[in-house]
Structures are given as C-alpha cells and as structure tokens.
Chain A
Amino acid sequence: MSTSTVNVPVASPLTAGQRIAMHYFIAAMVLFLAQILFGMISGLQYLMPDVFYNQLDFNVTRMVHINAMIVWLLFGFIGSVYWLVEDEAKTELVGAKLALINFWILTTAVAVVVVVYLFVQVGPGELKSIWLINEGREYIEAPRWADIGIVVCVLVFFYNIAATFMKGTWSGISGVLVLDLVALAGIYCAGMYFTPNISVDQHWWWWVIHLWVEATWEVLVGCIMAWGLIQTLGASRKVVTTWLYIEVALMFGSGILGLGHHYFWIGTPEYWLSIGGFFSALEPIPLVAMVVHAVYDSGRHGFKSANHPALAWLIAHAFGNFFGAGVWGFMHTLPQINLYTHGTQWTASHGHLAFFGAYATINIAMIYIALQRVRGNVWMSGGLSDNGWKWKWSLGLLNGGVVGMTVALLIAGYDQSFVERALEGSTWSGYFQAQQSAWFMQAMNWRMVFGCMTTVGILLMFWDMLTIGTSETRGKQALAPLPE
C-alpha cells in the first residue's frame, strides 16, 4: 500500500539544469501556439482557397505548421532531459552556462528560419535557395545553414548530458537515453544533402523521418515516461527499467525494418513490400506494452499520484501513442491497403493523432511535473482548490479536439481513396473530383470545428499552466514506493 502525507510546501530553488529546462519549455509552448495558429490557417484554406492567396499560401502555412510542431517537440524533449538529468545522475549539470548559450543560439536560429519562411518563402531554383531559404523537403525544410546549426546545438546538448552522467552515476534509463541521443543526432545527418534523384532523396529522407519518429523518438519518450512514472507514482525503478529494456527491444526490433513501409512506392525494390509490411505490422506491440505498463502502475497505486495533471497526461500519452502511432499506423501499413491510401488524408489523420498522442502529451506531462517544482513543491494531487477544472477541461478539449480532427480526416481519406484512387485512377481530375465530394467537404468542415476545440483547449491549458499551484498552501503529496 502506498502511504500519503500532507505537508507544507518545501520550496527549493531550481537547479541549473531545471532552469535551462524551463527556457526550453516556455519556447516549446510558444511554438505549440504557432503550430496551432498555422494549422488553423491551413485548415481554413481547404474551405476557403482564396484566404491569403499569393501572400501566405498553403505551402507556407503548412510548412510552418509542421515545422513548429517538430521544433516544439524537440524543445520539449531537450527540456525534459535537462529537467531529469541532475536527478537521474545525482550530480550538477556540467555546463550550465554553455547550455544557456546553446538555448539562445538555437532559439534565435529557429526565429530567423521562421521569419525567412514567412517573408521570403521561396527562392530561385539554385542551391543557394536550399542553403538560405528552405530545403523544400517535408518536415526537414530548415535551410542547410540551420541544419548544420541544429547538429552543432544537439552535439553541445549531448555533451552536456553525457558528461553529467559520466560525472555522476549511470542508470538503466540514462544508458538508454544517451545511446538514443547519439542515434537521434546521427540520423539527422542523413537528410543533409541534395540529389536530383527523387528516389534516392526520399530513401534517405525517410531515414530521418521514420527513424526519428518511429524509433529514436519513441525510445526517448520511453525514457522520459520511465522517469515520469517514478516521479508521479513512486513506481519501482527496477520494474520500470526492465519495462524500458523490453520496449527498446520491441521498438527497435520492429521499428528499424519497419522503415520498409515507406519504401513501397518510391522506386525502391519489391522486397520492401514484404519486409516493410511485416515489421511495421509488429510496431504496435511495444505500444501495447506501454499502455499495460502505465495503467498497471497507476492501478497498483490506486490512481494516487503526486501530480494528477502529469499522470493524466502520461496516461493520455500511453493511449495516444497506442492508438495514434499503433492502431492508426497499422490501419494503412500493409501494402495491399497502402497502395490506395498512400498520399491521401489517411496519412494526415494518422499524423495528427500520432504526433499528438505519442509526443505532445508527454511533453505536456513533463511541463506539469516541472511546474509543480517551480511553484514550490506544492500539492497537485486530487482535491485542488478549484477542483482542477482548468487542467481537466483542457485535457478533455485537447484530446477530444485532436481525436475529432483525426476521425474527420480519416473520413476524408476514405473518400479520397475510394473516389480518386479506386474509381478515377489517380488522375488530376480524379483528385479534384474527390476533393469536391460532399463527404470530403463535410469532413473538412468538421476538421475545422475540432481544430477550434483544440485551440480552446490549448489556451485553457496555458491559463492553467500560468496559475496552477500559485495559491496552494499544501505540500506535494509524498508517495512511499511500493514493495518490490
């Protein structure tokens, strides 16, 4: 049985790593808002194509939408790692000043890239456009100068984390984390060159996109989840670490060759149809393990936790990851189905639920863990003074909004696969016929409605983040670890 006591808050100043983490979290939330703003404009352009025509066209708004997402998730991950590193290594961060300089360089670079995206937008068909404006490759549009800057900043971050663990102590979580960061930084380099050959281009492009989001990012959030469960539930480190290893084995065991499900139709050999289909079908398995893990741990503690909002978001992560990345990915991963769904709104449906469910949720959970400390180790369990309505409603609105958008986009995807692909033979006229069909248009309207719901959820969440715990007089609920 877990025991709990009510104390007065024992405020302690943030450590150097935690102060750096807060910088990243704040920047991440600003970018999250930018993601939603530009997502809403992109969604509106489906309904009203003349909105910002020739000024801020869909290719720009959508690029900012997806790039803001990638960068805020990365900022959230970096912030999360800075937040946990000293606790996990049981020592101080080795290069606090370096980390702060690194943050400002990275943030300034991101700001410059966004300004160029918005005000320069496109360039002539020359290499200098790729170096200075944008690379025109989905998700990794950042110009080459910024690519190099990102790699340097990630290496500085890596040095800081690895050196801190080397100075302090290693653990299962930190071992997996550091090795994963090496892979994460290394893989990014596969996306940094130009070739006229679109097949070769997309082959390596998928190394970055897939091996990030379906392998190394998943393992990274596995580490954060493991640490988060110890923090919020007082879960046994031994049990959590063993689960983490199982997840790594299953995740890399299925995800590395699962890369093959992107190699069905880009000119790559036919053997990828079998390899990609088989291994990507296995990819949901580790995600099931993660759900079992989170629910079992929470249930074992009678859903008592030191931080209710964080635990709720960790559980949202477990389910979101399983449904968004696992189920929604599996639905169209077999080549027999993917032949008709590839390049349709099915992918957009999967993308919305997967990125939110797998990654946005866990970053939000970490921010709530951080806020508890920032507000002075206050009570954030059940029975908050306002009954915690803000975090509960924002959780509901955000999850409901994203699920609503996902379902709407899936209906649009079904319609597109059927009308454009199956009936009309994928011609341009077939494409536009599908885009104008009643079900497609209805789905796009509903996507907008749920987009508004998501936006309200985010604004409410920001309000909650700014206020939660500010007038709390009770100390953090202490949880005794369960017996082994």
Chain B
Amino acid sequence: MNEVPWWSSETLWRKTAIWVTAFMAVVLIVLTFDTVRQITAGGERVPAYNVINQKIFYEVNSDRGYQVPRIGETSALFGNELNEADAEALVTLGKLTVQAKNCMNCHTLLGNGAYYAPDLTKAWLDPGWVNEDLREQLMVQFLMDPENNARTFGTGRRMPNLGITEKEAHGIVAFLKWMSSIDTNGFPRGFKPLEQEDGA
C-alpha cells in the first residue's frame, strides 16, 4: 500500500533533473559557439565597423519576407573615410558614451531597455532627420544640446542635457549608423526609413 510507484519516485526525478539540465546546458553551449561566430563584427550578420563609410538601406528581402539592411555605395561619415581600426575606435567611443550616459534606461537598443523614449535600432535611418544631407548635423546638434533641439513630437518628453561633447556625439552617431546595419531578422517590422539616394 505504501509502495511508491516508479513514476513518482524521488530517485527517478533526481536523475531526470540532472540529465535534463546537463543535456540542455550542452546544447546551449554548442549553439553559443555558433551564435558568437555569426554575430562577431565582420561576420555574417553583424558588419565590420568600417561599414560606417558606406550607405545603409533597409529593404524588403523577398526570399526572407521582411526588411533587412543592405550596404550601399561609399558615404563617409562626417566626410572622413576611416580605416577599420579608426572606425572601430569611433564606434567604441560611441558605445562607451551610450553606456556612460545611461541611454538604455530611457531608450531601447535592439528593442531592449526602457520605453520612455524611442527605439534606437534604426535611429540612423529614421525619417525624422529630414534628409540625408542634414542628418549628421541634426543628430550632433540634438545630442549636444537636446534641450534646445528637443524632438518631443508634442509630448513634452525632452531628452536631458547629458553633457555630451562633440567628439562623443560623433562617436554616438557612428555607433547608431553601425547598429542600423545589423541583421535583426526583420525587427522593427514595417519600418519606414528615411529616403536616401541610391547609386547602386
């Protein structure tokens, strides 16, 4: 009467817990090696940092059924074509500034962060920058003096003054341009990018 059926025995479930956990951990580790390989800058899905020397488009790929970034003709950022090392240094400065200014606790990046301000994944391609000739200048002005260049769209939600220097602002713009070239499997869906001249 008091005999425990095999399917509810403590030993069976202890062994099951150990084996299931170990198996899943091994699968995760194997997939992690492949994933990290694919997302390393210069890899299949995340372009090298010197992509900031080129135009970036976001277009529907008919094979995959959603928008993906397309790298276009040369279009140096701030008029300076940079080698890979200098491009990486500029993007690194931008990323460091984005972290040091705690951007992620208002904005989302790749959709992660806080929801008080717009997503930055495709900020470089946003039509709010009017046109591609004004974009770089408007972005730098906004970052350095957000109070007087507020882009609140009537909400009254202004970005605070974070003491961003011109050099840091250039870094942030480079980082945002590079981030917009990442293949995000169609996120954000149905994005309407800034119109850009396509010399391709």
Task: Give chain A's interface residues, CB within 8 Å of chain B.
Answer: 42, 45-46, 49-50, 53-54, 57-60, 62-63, 121-127, 129-130, 133-138, 141, 172, 176, 194-203, 205, 238, 241-242, 245-246, 248-249, 252-253, 256-257, 259, 262-273, 275, 339-340, 342-345, 347-348, 416, 421-422, 424-429, 431-433, 435-436, 484
Contacts and interface: CB of A to CB of B under 8 A. Distances in A.
Contact of B14 (A198, A245, A265, A273): A245
A129 B96 contact: yes
Interface residues of B, number: 87
B38 A138 contact: no
A196 B95 contact: yes
Given A202-B110, A256-B24, A267-B39, 7 more contacts: A134-B99, A198-B175, A256-B27, A267-B110, A340-B189, A342-B111, A429-B153
B13 A245 contact: yes
B100 A136 contact: yes
B95 A198 contact: yes
Interface string B115-150: 110110011001110000000000000000001000
B152 A432 contact: yes
Closest 9 A/B residue pairs (Cβ): A125-B97, A136-B99, A432-B153, A343-B111, A426-B188, A265-B187, A245-B13, A129-B100, A59-B105
B49 interface: yes
A343 B119 contact: yes
Interface in B178-200: 179, 182-192
B24 to A, nearest CB: 4
29 contacts: A45-B116, A62-B116, A121-B102, A122-B163, A124-B97, A130-B96, A137-B99, A141-B102, A176-B17, A194-B99, A196-B94, A197-B46, A198-B110, A199-B182, A203-B39, A205-B112, A249-B20, A252-B25, A257-B28, A266-B182, A267-B45, A267-B183, A269-B45, A342-B187, A343-B119, A416-B115, A425-B188, A426-B192, A435-B157
B151 to A, nearest CB: 7
* Max chain B C-beta neighbours (<10 A), residue from A129, A197, A249, A422: A197
B103 interface: yes
A432 B118 contact: yes
A136 B104 contact: yes
Contacts of A427: 126-128, 191-192
Contacts of B182: 198-199, 266-267
Contact of B189 (A137, A172, A202, A421): A421
Contacts of B171: 125
The A contact surface, by secondary structure, is helix
B37 to A, nearest CB: 9
B100 A122 contact: yes
Contacts of A57: 106, 160
B21 interface: yes
A259 B28 contact: yes
A268 B187 CA distance: 12
A184 B38 CA distance: 27
B62 interface: no
B156 A58 contact: no
Contacts of B98: 125, 136
Contacts of B155: 49, 432, 435-436
Nearest to A57: B160
Contact of B109 (A59, A198, A484): A198
Nearest to B163: A122
Given A50-B156, A241-B10, A136 B20 contact: no
Contacts of B161: 54
B60 interface: no
Contacts of A241: 10
